Amino acid sequence: MSDNKIKLMFLGDIVGKAGRNAVKNYLAELEEKPDFIIANVENASHGFGLTQKNYNELLSYGIDAFTSGNHIWDKREIFNYIAEADRLVRPINYPKGTHGVGYRVIEKENYKVGIINVLGRTFMGLIDPYWELLTSAIEEIKKETQIIVIDIHAEATAEKICMAKYFAKMRVTAIFGTHTHVQTADERIYEDHCGYITDAGFCGDINGVIGMEYEASVNRLITSIPERLDVASSGESQVNGVVVTIDCLTGKTEAIGRINKIISEEI
């Protein structure tokens, strides 16, 4: 941190062991470390959900906070540890009483970062509306910090853009889209304040299909018969995400840039 500014890195959906290894190696090799790192981890454990072991593993890489999405419940053990996982947020618009929390404020050094996770509603199944929930959460977080980052885990591009435009007016610091695993080239700053990208992309095997094995993926399309999907493991992975420069006093994003790094290794 310098001159009341921080660099915050957001990593797109980490998919399986290939994604975890890619992120580990990428972060270890960075010459200039970001001040704060957030990663989406709903696919981090064999492509579906998050085990406690992998949660702790990713923490050890220096990641400060984790967002998730609709797959966060895929590993049943999540219910055993999510209450103690104080760096993890699940989507805020699950019904009242759902395990875990939809937003957190995390303090590091002499600044605080508010993190909110939300599920989109278009093509995403039944889930509660989020407009009032997000408004309330933003107001609460602003009592502690001006730095507020939202991960909208959603299918529809139009929904993500509409949400970004709407909440940028509330002086949110950044809104990052996840879920499609395909990085978009539309990073920008709304309202001269809010950093945005429709989808940050994913971290995982680059030669599969959004991180999963090609053969099973194409068979499902050809036959329409459900088939088990396994994480691809070609030995060549990618790390996708964004880095934003933030003014800690105002919560303003001053710059945004994409991360698209190819990493070759034996998995």
Which residues fall within 8 angstroms of residue 225, CB to CB, at 6 or more apart? 219
Q: Please, are residues 19 and 43 in contact by the beta-carbon 8 Å criterion?
A: yes
Structure tokens given for 103:
């937003």
One-letter amino acid of 134: L
CA distance linking residue 17 with residue 36, whole number of Å:
23
Vertex 105: Cα angle to 256 and 29 (nearest 5): 45
CA distance linking residue 175 with residue 151, whole number of Å:
6
Catalytic residue among 46, 71, 99, 179: 71
Alpha-carbon torsion (172, 178, 179, 182), positive or negative: positive
Q: Please, are residues 234 and 207 in contact by the beta-carbon 8 Å criterion?
A: yes
Q: Please, are residues 208 and 232 in contact by the beta-carbon 8 Å criterion?
A: yes
Q: Which of 55, 47, 38 is nearest to 217 (CA)?
A: 47
CA distance linking residue 254 with residue 189, whole number of Å:
8
CA distance linking residue 44 with residue 7, whole number of Å:
24
- Judge whether 71 counts as a catalytic residue: yes
CA distances from 252 to 37, 164, 257 (A): 17, 14, 15
Query: Would you please indicate which residues are annotated as catalytic (active-site) residues?
Result: 71
